[in-house]
Amino acid sequence: MQRRKFLQKSSLSTAAVLSSSILSTCKNEKAKAAAPLVANAIKPIVIATWNVPNATTKAWQVLEKGGNALDAVEAGVKVEEADVDNQSVGKGGRPDREGHVTLDACIMDQHGNCGAVVYLKNITHAVSVARKVMEDTPHVMLAGEGAEQFADEKGFEKETLLTEKSRMEWLEWKKESKYEPVINIENHDTIGMLAIDAQGDICGACTTSGMAYKMAGRVGDSPIVGSGLFIDNEIGGATATGQGEEVVKTVGSFLVVELMRQGRSPQSACEEAVNRIVKGNPNFKDIQVGYIAINKNGQTGGYCIHPGFSYRVYSEYGHENIESNSYL
């Protein structure tokens, strides 16, 4: 839907709620109290890092039919995992410096249950393996060979994740082997998705192939519950993209949710989480991190260090890509 139509439709709706939510979220806000839970909270709704219309549309289709938020976020991020043109998640992801594509993912439901896989090879849908870890094991996280063996037992198909395109780029990179993460070279990275279903329950998922040409064995923030993703069904949810080490050091997504608990809006909470990374870090200009968040009322926010990060929101009021405000 075009922005103009989106705005028109929005203005006809529950304006009081919406005007302080989706439409205002890309503005720089100072800390302010989160609205108390309102009867006309925006739900269902889905929000995702980056401009991934196919993924949010898929999630929306689940929500629209009355499906639950967990199924919605899983179905949504799976779209990107299967898309070989998206070189930052799933099949087609860029490899580590040894040429291996290794995936990290996690998922979290409204009850606080979570599952994660790290350093998973040969399986496209890391998020679905993470969901199986959550639902079918007493554990939260499985890594490497164990994760792959588990996926095998659960009937996941093994595939070669390294595409010719990613392989050729890696061979090119190897000529110099210079490890320098490039900021926003394309309009996607980790795909983090948060959804509220018609029942008002919040769930989230996060999936990535990690930083391109990372050291073998490196794991980022994305599969670490509290860093790359966090959900508290009473408060809201948050998810991250960008340089995972910085997110892990500040337990970023948990921080965003806790700030919302203390009364911050999603926008203000994302800004403060970015500020924590920037503060006292002489190298912050070399780093990109972006957060998105949603609260129980369906109000959303996003913030990042460098311009260039955007996020996508889809609710009954329309769907739109929102350019995030940035620290720089």
Structure letter (DSSP) for residue 210: -
Structure letter (DSSP) for residue 33: P
Q: Which DSSP helix (H) or strand (E) runs through 1?
A: none
The whole-angstrom separation of Cα 259 and Cα 277 is 15
DSSP string, 142-209: EEHHHHHHHHHHTTPPP-----HHHHHHHHHHHTT----PPTTSSS-SSEEEEEE-TT--EEEEEEE-
For 73, the 3-state DSSP assignment is helix
Smallest distance, ligand ASP to C-beta of residue 210, A: 4
**Cα 21-301-268 angle, rounded to 5 deg:** 100
CA torsion through residues 239, 90, 186, 98, sign = positive
Closest to ligand ASP by CB, 22 vs 289, is 289
Spot the catalytic one: 56, 190, 239, 300.
190
Closest to ligand ASP by CB, 261 vs 327, is 327
Tokens linked to 216? 């073998």
Smallest distance, ligand ASP to C-beta of residue 169, A: 15
Tokens linked to 171? 């061979």
Closest to ligand ASP by CB, 46 vs 211, is 211
Q: Is 184 left (phi over 0), alpha (psi -120 to 50) or beta?
A: left
Smallest distance, ligand ASP to C-beta of residue 186, A: 10
**Residue 56: active-site member:** no
CA torsion through residues 45, 236, 210, 324, sign = positive
Structure letter (DSSP) for residue 284: G
Closest to ligand ASP by CB, 62 vs 107, is 107
Residues that bind ligand ASP (CB under 6 A): 189-190, 208, 210-211, 220-222, 241-244
Smallest distance, ligand ASP to C-beta of residue 211, A: 5
Smallest distance, ligand ASP to C-beta of residue 185, A: 10
Closest to ligand ASP by CB, 12 vs 182, is 182
Q: Which residues are catalytic?
A: 190
